[in-house]
Amino acid sequence: MAEQDTETPDAPEIPLWFDELRPGGDAEGFLERRLRHSLLFVQRPVKRLLVTFDNLSNVSDRSPGREPWAFKFAKDINISHLGVMAHVADWYRDSDLIERFQKLADEGFFEGYDRVIFAGVSMGGYAAIAFGSLVPGAHVISVNPQSTLDTDIVPWETRYEGGRRQDWTLPLSDASELTAKLGRVNIFFDPYHELDKQHVSRFSGDNIHVFNCRHSSHKTAVFLRKINALKPVMQVAIFDKLDEVEFYRLYRGRRDLRWYKGAVVAYFREQGRDELADRFGMAFRKRLRRVQRQEDHDDLQASEDVDATSLDFTSPPPEPTTVSATKLAKTRNVSDVEKSNARCAIVTTMKNEGPFMLEWVAFHRTLGFQDFLIYTNDCEDGTDKIAQRLEELGLANHVDNKFKKGASPQRVALRRALAHDVYKSADWIMCADCDEFLNIRVGDGTLSALFDAVGQADAISFCWKLFGCGGHVAYRDEFIHENFTWSAPEAFREKYRGLGLKTIFRPSEAIRKFGVHRPKFHNRPEGFVWKDAGGKPMPEPYFGTGWSAYAKFDHSFARLHHYAVRSVDSFLVKRDRGRTNHIDRDQGVAYWADMNLNMEEDVSLVAAAGRTRTEFDAMMKDKELRRLHYEACAWHRAKVTALKQNKEWSSFYDLLQTINKRGEAPVNRDKLLEDLGVE
């Protein structure tokens, strides 16, 4: 959603939307060119519809490559998009446009989606609320909106002379009077901007949620984009529920923005508080220098964190399953090292995963992973003790993952992993959770066969395939990948959670950050080859951002089976445990409705259970490991029993068994929550 480049190139520019709507393209849709506005619609698999209205800054754009506001954003997250492009600054006061939207609503155009979201900025922010009112239950993302420019209603509004001259006797003229039938209306503005404040104060109702973006002036959308908050804010509002805690956590990014410093200093000076302005400016510069020094020494700091939390190796574990200090390699440079596939590693974070750990390690050892770097935190079932015993047996490396309150255990662990010996010595490494099993579909099902099939590569991404409980209610000590076989269809793309990627990559100096879903880079690394699970090059935009699979993502060589819910019993424990990444989001009914998919049966990993059993049985020959495993299973059962004794948990348990049964299409999550009276 970056600002659009309006410079006209020498050669005709092909718009992004043309690739989808041209003959032979992937999508269905339409383009309607009208005198004052154009409508562009692209239908995509995920059942969310984003409707956007351009702002004043785009009105004069006549370039062939013009696209509606947020077009690329909608494309990246694979949701349908209806974009209204304005050719005049008329605040959408156009009887033809109003009639067109009313007709779309009457014809059922907006039906069949899990959620419809109207969005826009300033002029577009007004239109998002006004036109959104034609679709009862629609959600709204409105940034710096005017409530109306009718001079009889807002005589104090002195901006936008052209807008005030429009016909405000037409329908939808006062957005503040049109919100009663809408869903959540999210409004973002700067409360220190007096005119915007007066407009926002005219909105009221239980469905109005106002987010104060202090010191962003009337450029709140640009401000949010500069602190890398605009896309996350919109994504949460589209797929979930944006609350104050999540928003203001993202808005903390303003602390590193010089624009914010200048705005605050100017505010204090306008108040005649020059001394405070000077003190704030000095404190800002001091903090910014400290942040920059922190980034410059991030690798060193990560190393110190690992040293402080790692266990002391008193004797080197046996080869080839652990890392010998004498064999550490310097982090590889993509362009100047002879590439090897010999050493493959997984980094994982765990809490109360004891009953499932040994199967997961055994399974991935059969694929060819030698090194497992296991970070644990706050375990009650002995997960940390199992990880420690695996280290003593030379089967893994264990780190007690200490972190500050409110931090993400997984993100902390991945930052620290960059300085760990396992990362430095790996030819390939990936982040994977204990409920994720890599299904290699070529050759003998090993990493070696995968690398041969993919060919030259520095990173390979795998897309989740979501597996549900498959009717398993009670917890049993049995292999997950052998017994849980009901899943989403192979080409299913209607749940955005099901499009998530995980990436195995070669550590190199090009890697800036070890992300949960993919590596992150300083710049586009020269010579770095990134492919999907069918050996096709990943689209270039992924080098900047992206965590989900694009429309033509190829799964031919591998798929990542994601057993996110397991049995109903085990899901209770998972919900009680909390999350390792988005720690502030509850794993409740909405999560179950999205992740418990049981539409068809997939038995492709059942045959792998034999070789997994061989590895598992070998580990269970160790008396201590066997004891710890059985203790973890007993703790798990006891936890389930204790949770079900609570009335609310018992009701939750009963409800889960009614949602997305075997062979059924998934329920409409938003309607389910509405019927249950859950916000």
pLDDT tens per residue across span 520-567: 998 889 899 999 999 999 999 899 888 899 989 999 999 999 999 999
pLDDT at site 92: 97
- Which pLDDT score, from 0 to 100, does residue 283 have? 86
Q: What is the mean pLDDT of residues 18-35?
A: 84
3-state helix, strand, coil in the chain (%, to 5): 40, 15, 45
The strand pairing partners of 22, in sequence order, are none
Half-sphere exposure of 568 (CA within 13 A, CB side): 22
3-state class (DSSP) for residue 449: helix
Per the CB < 8 A criterion, the answer to whether 71 and 1 are in contact is: no
Q: Is the pLDDT of residue 3 over 50?
A: no
**pLDDT over threshold 50, residue 303:** no
pLDDT for residue 587: 57
How is 320-384 classified by DSSP, letter by letter?
Answer: TTS--GGG--PPPPTTTS----S-EEEEEEESS-HHHHHHHHHHHHHHT--EEEEEE-S-SSSHH
Which residues, listed in sequence order, are joined to residue 466 by a DSSP beta bridge?
A: 562
Q: What is the pLDDT of residues 376-426, one digit of tens each?
A: 999 999 999 999 999 999 999 999 998 888 788 899 999 999 999 999 999
Contact 342, 535 (CB under 8 A): no
Residue 117 in contact with residue 95, Cβ under 8 Å? Answer: no
Among 206, 82, 221, which Cα is nearest to 141's?
Answer: 221
Q: Give me the mean pLDDT over the 609-616 stretch.
A: 95
Q: Which residue has the higher pLDDT, 353 or 338?
A: 353
Confidence at residue 391, expressed as pLDDT on a 0 to 100 scale = 95
pLDDT attached to residue 338: 54
What phi and psi, each to the nearest 5 degrees, are found at residue 546? Answer: 130, 130
319 vs 367, higher pLDDT:
367
Q: Are strands 46-53 and 79-86 parallel, antiparallel or unpaired?
A: parallel
Label residues 37-74 b or e (16+ Cβ within 10 Å = b): bbbbbbebbbbbbbbbbbbbbbeebebebbbbbbbbbb
Tens-place pLDDT, residues 45-78: 888 999 999 998 888 888 888 899 999 999 888 8
Nearest by Cα to 223 from 253, 201, 194: 253
Instruction: Let me know: does 465 contact 630? Beta carbons within 8 Å.
Output: no
Average pLDDT over residues 121-147: 97
| pLDDT score recorded for residue 211 | 97
Which residue has tokens 């997250």? 77
Residue type at position 542: Y
For the cut 90, the answer to whether the pLDDT of residue 440 exceeds it is yes
pLDDT of residue 674: 82
Percent above pLDDT 90 for the chain: 68
b/e sequence 235-251, b meaning 16+ C-beta within 10 Å = bbbbbebbeeebbeebb
Q: What is the pLDDT of residue 77?
A: 86
Which helix (H) or strand (E) covers residue 308, if one does?
A: helix 298-309
479-514 residue pLDDT tens? 999 999 999 999 999 888 889 999 999 999 889 899
pLDDT of residue 10 exceeding 60: no
Measure the CA–CA gap between 553 and 567, rounded to whole angstroms: 30
Cα(12)–Cα(270) distance, rounded to whole angstroms?
Answer: 48
Given this model, what pLDDT does residue 12 score? 52
Q: Report whether pLDDT(644) > 70.
A: yes
Instruction: Count CB-CB contacts under 10 A for residue 440.
Output: 22
Token code pair at residue 75: 């494309």
pLDDT, mean over the chain = 87
In this predicted structure, what is the pLDDT of residue 60? Answer: 80
Q: In this structure, which amino acid lies at residue 378?
A: D
Binned at pLDDT 50, 70 and 90, residue 120 comes out as very high
- pTM metric for this prediction: 0.60
pLDDT at 21: 82
Q: At a CB cut-off of 8 Å and minimum separation 6, what does 136 contact?
A: 181, 182
Chain segment 243-267, per-residue pLDDT in tens: 888 899 899 889 888 888 888 888 8
Q: Within 13 Å and on the Cβ side, how many CA atoms surround 205?
A: 18
Task: Check if the beta carbon of residue 669 is closer than 8 Å to that of residue 676.
Answer: no
Residue at 288: amino acid letter = L
- The pLDDT of residue 305 is 41
19 confidence band (pLDDT: 50, 70, 90) = confident
Q: Express each pLDDT in 215-238 by its tens digit.
A: 999 999 999 999 989 999 999 999
pLDDT band for position 145 (cuts 50, 70, 90): very high
Q: What is the pLDDT of residue 679?
A: 52
Task: Express each pLDDT in 564-588 by its tens digit.
Answer: 999 999 999 998 876 444 333 345 8
According to the model, what pLDDT value does residue 27 have?
76
CA angle 413, 418, 420 (to 5 degrees): 85
Percent of the chain exceeding pLDDT 70 equals 89
Residue 443 has a pLDDT of: 94
Closest CA to 290 of 266, 255, 254: 255
Q: For residues 206 and 264, what is the distance between their CA atoms, to the nearest angstrom?
A: 31
